[in-house]
Amino acid sequence: MKNRFIFLSSCLLSAMLLFSCKDNNKESEEKTTEVTTQSDTDFRPAFHFTPEENWMNDPNGMFFLNGTYHLFFQYYPDGNTWGPMHWGHATSKDLIKWEEKPIALEPDEQGYIFSGSAVVDTENTSGFGDGKTPPVIAMFTYHDPKGEEEGRDDYQTQAIAYSLDEGKTFTKYEGNPVIENPGIRDFRDPKITRDEVHDQWVMVLSANDQTMFYTSQNLKDWKLVSEFGRGIGAHGGVWECPDFIHMKVEGSDQKKWVLIQSLNPGGFNGGSGTQYFVGEFDGKTFTLDESMKDLSEDHNYWLDFGKDNYAGVTWTNIPEEDGRHLFMGWMSNWQYANEVPTETWRSAMTIARELKLTKTGETYRIVSTPVAELQKYKGQKFTKNSIAVEGKTQIANSEDIDLSQSVISFEIEDLKDQEYDFSLTSGGDDVLKFGYDHKAEKFYIDRSNSGLTGFNENFGDKISTAPRLSDDSNLEVKAVLDNMSIELFFDNGKTVMTEIFFPEQPINSFTAEGNDFSIKNLTINEVKLN
Ligand code: FRU
């Protein structure tokens, strides 16, 4: 992690001397040139958020207020690779159609503005309110690049800023930082939640290999109350970007606390990934549920098993009558994020998703599905009740429907011990494959021949796999496609896989392959924003 920031900071320094990161590294310059000349396609997704221009990573500070969803994001406005972080800003009425707004927070002498969260302080517990509009409090990490370069351990601190105009503009608190660094190198990404049960604010913070829990009454004075996670779950890298949410268990009156915890590297299929833990919270300490006790390094509690859903967190202040847990992640992976073959903009967010907590036997699972609002933007529709697959079988092509921005849903009944393979092919020879092996009970995505892959050795080298987490004899599949991304929701979101890919031509054919099976209830909906 440290090396990543230092490397990028030094590229920035070079940029000031009129050399870009690419120019500094001959090999990577050659690679980039070779890659970009292969295609003049614009990969920009149509209905996933991307910044108009330049670099973006984690979603930050998401809150809802007066009919508007706010999304802030790690943003570098002066280049298309990672640089001194700002908080960019976008708003939406429905989580699908986003409008980019002016930058909300800029770096200052205390450092870059790293990831964090925002809450609406309806009761004005912070005292920042003016009696008219409820103050919005953003909490973020200051990353001091000078401290980092000097080799200090305390260069990340926590700070707050407040907005009295519903998130349009923020004023940094003069008492910053509100949490000093106790000497922990990776100490960042505060996520605040309202703990109604104990009538307090709770903040989770990633600190190297664990999550720290803080509580507060006024959002300014924070008390460290506990730590969680050392030796529990996956630890292949540094823990980053936690979230802590109180979730109802589907079909019961029970509620559980869920800790979402990203880590990089060490994700299920390599690089960045997001795991979760289910348990109880007594106002101070988070205790893992009995069913997850002794959770090993190679567990299967991942929000998404694909390579490209990182640092995702949920919106705060969702009205009770709505009650959903709404989530969005960054659709990339630190293994190659800085090198993906786009120029004017770099990185997209996942589709907004609804998270639910289910219990089967003693096992808790988070299931995720695209938010219902996505269904508002339907274009053409293509349906078939049943398609017999024998060998390689065409399911749909561009004469039936525009597949490149679409939602494909279907079912397979009475699964047999065999492989079910699907291909999305572009005008050239590019093919993105995904499927399910019922014998191994594993899903996969294979993007090795999906178009531009050579920009980084970790991009198309391995087939990503994911376990099936359902024992239903039927399989439900939903694929959300948007030019350069596929988000696969298997078994109604029990197993999710998100990956990006860069076909040289738009996807225009969908085929299936396998040994005598039927695709049932196929629906393909184009997604059109206008
Ligand atoms: C996660 C992350 C955060 C950090 C931010 C910096 O992707 O490394 O931990 O705050 O990105 O941009």
Query: Given a cut of 90, is residue 521 above it in pLDDT?
Result: yes
Q: Are strands 345-346 and 54-65 parallel, antiparallel or unpaired?
A: parallel
Which element (helix H / strand E) includes 34? helix 26-37
Ligand 1 pocket check: which of 74, 148, 186, 262 to mutate, most ligand atoms within 8 Å of Cβ?
74
pLDDT of residue 4: 60
Q: Cα(281) to centroid of ligand 1, in Å?
A: 26
For 200-264, give the DSSP string. EEEEEEEETTEEEEEEESSSSS-EEEEEE-TTSS--SSEEEEEEEEEEEBTTSS-EEEEEEEEEE
CA of 57 to the centre of ligand 1 (A): 8
Nearest ligand 1 atom to the CA of 334 is: 7
Q: Which of 25-34, 349-358, 450-459 has the weakest average pLDDT? A: 25-34
Q: What is the mean pLDDT of residues 82-93?
A: 98
**Cα–Cα dist 187/180, whole Å:** 10
Q: Decide: helix, strand or coil at residue 184.
A: coil
Question: Contact 227/213 with Cβ under 8 angstroms?
Answer: yes
Predicted local distance difference test score (pLDDT) of residue 8: 53
Task: Using pLDDT thresholds of 50, 70 and 90, give the confidence band for residue 427.
Answer: confident
CA-310 nearest atom, ligand 1: 7
Name which of 324, 414, 317, 417 is nearest 367 in CA terms: 324
Atom 6 of ligand 1, nearest CA residue: 114
Burial of 26 (0-12, 13-18, 19+ CB in 10 A): exposed
Phi and psi dihedrals of 282, rounded to 5? -95, 15
Q: How many CB atoms lie within 10 A of CB 515?
A: 11
pLDDT number for residue 30: 38
Q: What is the pLDDT of residues 349-372, one digit of tens each?
A: 999 999 999 999 999 999 999 999
Which amino acids bring their CB within 6 angstroms of ligand 1? Answer: 57-58, 74, 85, 114-115, 141, 188-189, 240-241, 311
Query: Which whole number is the average pLDDT over 405-426?
Result: 97
Nearest Cα neighbor of 177 from 129, 116, 225, 121 is: 116
Residue 25: the pLDDT is 36
From CA 261, how far away is CA 275, in angstroms rounded?
5
Q: What is the DSSP letter of 465?
A: E
Cis peptide before 177 (omega within 30 of 0): yes
Mean pLDDT over residues 68-85, rounded? 98
Quote the ligand 1 centre to 211 CA distance (angstroms).
Answer: 15
Q: Per-residue pLDDT for 110 more than 80? A: yes
Say what percent of the chain tops pLDDT 90: 91
Q: How high is the pLDDT of residue 39?
A: 55
Residue 154 CA to its chain's centroid (Å): 27
Give the H/E segment covering residue 5.
helix 2-16
The best mutation among 56, 115, 330, 333 to test binding of ligand 1, ranked by most ligand atoms within 8 Å of the C-beta, falls on 115
145-154 pLDDT, tens digit each: 999 999 999 9
Residue 41's pLDDT band (cuts 50, 70, 90): low
Which residues, 6 or more positions from 26, have their beta carbon under 8 angstroms from its beta carbon? none
Cα 107 to middle of ligand 1, angstroms: 15
Helix (H) or strand (E) holding 353: strand 353-360
Which region, left, alpha or beta, applies to residue 521 given φ > 0 means left and ψ of -120 to 50 means alpha? left
- Please give the average per-residue pLDDT across 214-234, as a whole number: 98
Domain ranges for the chain, please list them. 9-30+53-370, 377-527
Q: Compute the distance from residue 238 Cα to the ligand 1 centre, in Å.
A: 11
Over residues 380-414, the pLDDT tens digits come to 999 999 999 999 999 999 999 999 999 999 999 99
Ligand 1 atom at minimum distance from 115 CA: 10
CA distance 101 to 452: 31
Q: What number does the ligand 1 atom closest to the CA of 141 have?
A: 10
What pLDDT is recorded for position 429?
86
Correct CATH for 9-30+53-370 of 3.30.750.24, 2.115.10.20, 3.40.50.300, 3.40.50.2300: 2.115.10.20
Whether 9-30+53-370 shares its CATH topology with 377-527 is answered: no
Residues 488-512: what's their mean pLDDT?
A: 97
Q: Which pLDDT tens digit goes with each residue over 127-184? A: 999 999 999 999 999 999 999 999 999 999 999 999 999 999 999 999 999 999 999 9
Mutational test site, ligand 1, from 117, 188, 211, 243, max ligand atoms within 8 Å of CB: 188
* 58 given a catalytic annotation: yes
Q: Of 8, 58, 333, which is best to mutate to test ligand 1, by the most ligand atoms within 8 angstroms of its C-beta?
A: 58
For ligand 1, atom 9, the nearest C-alpha belongs to 240
Q: What is the mean pLDDT of the chain?
A: 93
* DSSP three-state, residue 509: strand
User: How many A from CA of 187 to the centre of ligand 1?
Assistant: 11
Mutation pick for ligand 1 pocket among 189, 212, 336 (CB with most ligand atoms within 8 Å)? 189
* Atom from ligand 1 closest to the CA of residue 1: 8
Q: How far is the CA of 115 from the centre of ligand 1 (A)?
A: 6
d(CA 114, ligand 1 centre) in Å: 6
Q: Is the pLDDT of residue 333 over 60?
A: yes
Q: What is the DSSP letter of 351?
A: P
Bigger pLDDT: 48 vs 31: 48
Q: In whole angstroms, how far apart are CA 158 and each of 186, 218, 411?
A: 12, 15, 47
Average pLDDT over residues 496-504: 97
Question: For residue 123, with 0-12 CB atoms within 10 Å meaning exposed, 13-18 middle and 19 or more buried, which class applies?
Answer: exposed
Ligand 1 atom nearest 272 alpha carbon:
7
- Catalytic residue, chosen from 40, 58, 294, 400, is 58
pLDDT of residue 428: 81
CATH class of 377-527: mainly beta
- Number of the ligand 1 atom closest to the C-alpha atom of 186: 9
Cα(242) to ligand 1 centroid in Å equals: 11
